[in-house]
Structures are given as structure tokens and as C-alpha cells.
Structure 1
Amino acid sequence: MLQSYIPLFPLKIVVFPSEKVNLHIFERKYKQMVHDCLRGDRLFGILSAVDNEKMYGTSVYLRAINKVYPDGRMDIQVMGQRAFIVEEFDEVKTSREYSAGLVRYLDNDMEVDEDKVLELKEKVREFFQSLEMVGRVEFNQQPKAFGIGHYLGLSLEQKYELLKIEEEKGRQHYLIEHLKATIPIAKQFNEAKRRIRMNGHYKYFDLGDPIDPDFPMGEN
């Protein structure tokens, strides 16, 4: 069981391991946190604030400070490292203005089901085909669930659920089920677009008589 005490930055986002994210730092306490990270191991945790639950998140490595503004604001880039669950949460202390905590890193069993790998590839291709984006996706030999998860239209809550799954097999299954539900909707949407284009000679829509603003509507 690997644990670590790290600064914590609550945000309404989910960062996957190996994902690069750009952040704009403007609050004084988080500017202090960045400076402290630069003097240390450059690690802090993005705590995913989803549905008022602030327990899971991802440790990130501070890769670069891209810009520093005259007032001290910063544009930084971080890369996700490992998913964690918070064991102990510490509020602000006199030596720092930001929160920190003891986190336990989640196990990350990377064993895969080869049949599921093939099924996931096929579903991803079908998904992009349904969006008429066939040439936009390429795979290496074995795509990772975290690597493709943020391209598949997951909601914030769904990303959060994916982050909490500790086995690659489970993450594969989660994405396959998501795509099974999403692909038919995408196909219906594109079919509707095609029908609208076929009727493109209609430039105006008769939505009925306009409402007279001087006519008393009354109340029920």
C-alpha cells in the first residue's frame, strides 16, 4: 500500500494518469503551492470535486510554467501520474495557505482481456464513424482505457467512475458499455442532420403567429 503526503488542489475536473492538462493559477494560495512544488518534487494532487464528494483524485507532475503574468498569475502544464483516494485531509496550516493530505495510491492492475481489447477498438472505430470522424482515431497495438477515455464523450461523473476502477479489464468493460449506449444516439443524431440537409431548400420555418406583446396573457 503506497501512501504519500501531498498538496491538494480541489477542482471540478478529472485528470487521468498520463493525461496532460493546462491550468490557469490565479488564487494566492495555489500560486504558493506551485512555488512550493518547484522547490520540492513537483508533485501535487488534483482532487476531483464531483457531486460534493472530494475523496478521489490524481497526483500530477508539474511539467512546465508556460507563462507568468505581472500580477503573479500563471499558466502551467501538468501530467497525470497515479489515481488516489484521500486517507486524511488537512486544511490550511500556518506554514501554507493551501490544503494537503495523506493519499493512498490505487492499485493499477494492467492485465487485459484480449477479446475486450479487440471489442473496445471496434466500438471506438464505430463511435467515430457514427460521428463522421473516421480518420480522427489511430491505435497503437494495445490502447489504454485512460488514454482514450477523455475522447469518448464521457460526462464528468462518468470520468470520475472510470478513475476509481483499479483494473484495466474493468475500465475496458466500462468504456465498452458506455459506447454501446452512446453509438445508437450518435447515429440517430447524424441521421437527423442528413434529413435536415435533404430539406435544405426550406430557408424559413413557420412557427405560428407572433405573440402580440400588448395582448394580456393572464395567469392561471
Structure 2
Amino acid sequence: MAATPMFPLEVAMLPGEELPLRIFEPRYTEMISQCLAGEPEFGVVMIEAGREVGGGDVRSDVGVLARIVEHADLGGGRYRLRCILGERIRVTEWLEDAPYPRAQTVPWPDEHGPTVAGADIAGVEDTVMALFERIAQARDATLPPREELLGGPEPGQQPGDRLYALAARLPIGQADRYAVLAAPSACARLEALREAVETVAAMVEFQLG
């Protein structure tokens, strides 16, 4: 099984998001050069402790595959990339950094669980809109339309993917984003997102109060 090149970040990225990157560290310059010469994909995981630059970080074991859709070679070992994040992956084994991070990975589609209905997702959206309206009222501001703020389901989109898309639009913390990513099923993801929204709502009420 071929090793997957890995790019640890200090944020938790979600399937469907866009990831712009500037590459300048030598180990990642080599990684991206090899990706561009072959399969333009690499894994992205969140750093649980440590920093992006220099190594020595502690990495999570759930991430996503990033596909390079645009790139510019800026010279001097520097690249500018635009990547689209696709399927979720799970790390089964971290390998030696040689010289960049590598791992054995497997795809991790949603596991079976209780059905998530459109009404369940709409309930979370209603809670989010009420929160946004509370903030807007406190600031004497006018909210954009609901669909502009939260987006809408795409034709044929599965509930689990819709929850990823909704989470990507919300001002939740990195730990909550990772909980959404690492939820094994759509139902578990719904609960993780509900908890994240409740946390944000409590913080907002405390600040406004």
C-alpha cells in the first residue's frame, strides 16, 4: 500500500472546503513537487499539539484528502496552491517523516446509524439563525438571507455531507470542528454539531449579557 503524503495544520478542515496554501518549508516543497509530478493529492490532519513549522507536532488520526486544483510555482522552492478537500480518511499508521510527513491511510465513509432527516438538520439551522438574529439585534445590524448565511442542500447531497457544509459556515472552535469531522456517522455528526452550536450560543449570551 502506497504511503499518503500528509500536511498537518493547526486547524480542522472539513470535506467540501477550499484550502489555499503557501508552501515554503523545504520538506513540503519536496512533497508538493512530487504530488504535482504524479497524483496531486495529499492528506490533511489537525495538529493536536505543537506547531506546523519545524516538526515535532502531535497529529490527529482523522483527516481529509486535499486535491490540488490550481498551483503557481513562485520560484525558490515556494508554491501557491488552491486545494479542494474531498473524502474523509483515517490514519492507520504514521510513518517516518522522510523528509515530509507520511502515513498509511484508508477512506472512512460514514458508518451506518439512525437516519438523519431534513427536519433534523433544519432544526439546527433554526437554532443557528436565532443565534445570528440575537447578535444582529444587539449590534443593530441587518442579517443577510438565510440561504446566503447557511447555504442550502445540493441535489442528491447526503445528510452527513450537508452537516459538513453547515459546520464549515459556523463560527465554532477547532475542537468542535474536529468532533464534527471525527463523528463516525451522520447521526453522531448531527449531535456533535448541536453541541457545538449550544457552546457558541452560551458564549454569545454570556458576552451580550
Structure 1 residues 59 and 154, CA gap change in structure 2 (3 angstroms): same
SS in 2 for 1:137: helix
Q: Deviations over 1:27-81 (max 9, x none)?
A: 111111111111212110012111434322211101111x433422122111111
Please point out which of 103, 118, 131 is paired with 2:135: 131
Contact 1:145–1:172 (CA under 8 A) maintained in structure 2: yes
TM-score of the two chains, using structure 1 as the length reference:
0.74
Please point out which of 13, 27, 30 is paired with 1:29: 27
Counterpart residue number, 2:83: 78
Counterpart residue number, 1:121: 125
Structure 1 residues 140 and 23, CA gap change in structure 2 (3 angstroms): same
What percent of counterpart residues are identical? 18
Counterpart residue number, 1:152: 170
User: What letter is aligned with 1:18?
Assistant: G
Contact 2:172–2:197 (CA under 8 A) maintained in structure 1: no
Structure 1 residues 40 and 124, CA gap change in structure 2 (3 angstroms): same
Please point out which of 153, 157, 162 is paired with 2:180: 162
Counterpart residue number, 2:207: 189
Structure 1 residues 4 and 175, CA gap change in structure 2 (3 angstroms): farther
TM-score of the two chains, using structure 2 as the length reference:
0.77
1:69 aligns with 2:78: no
Contact 1:25–1:31 (CA under 8 A) maintained in structure 2: yes
User: What letter is aligned with 2:117?
Assistant: D
Shift of 1:148: 2.0
Shift of 1:141: 4.2
Q: Deviations over 1:75-108 (max 9, x none)?
A: 2111111222211221134xxx212121122122
- Structure 1 gaps, min length 5: 193-220
Contact 1:57–1:85 (CA under 8 A) maintained in structure 2: yes
Counterpart residue number, 1:99: 101
User: What letter is aligned with 1:45?
Assistant: G
Moved over 6 A (4+): none
**Aligned partners of 1:53 and 1:92: how far apart in 2?**
13
Alpha-carbon RMSD across the aligned residues, in angstroms, is 2.4
* Most deviating of 118-127 and 136-145: 136-145
Contact 1:84–1:103 (CA under 8 A) maintained in structure 2: yes
User: What letter is aligned with 2:178?
Assistant: Y
1:140 aligns with 2:140: no
Counterpart residue number, 2:52: none
Shift of 1:188: 4.5
Larger radius of gyration: 1
SS in 1 for 2:83: strand
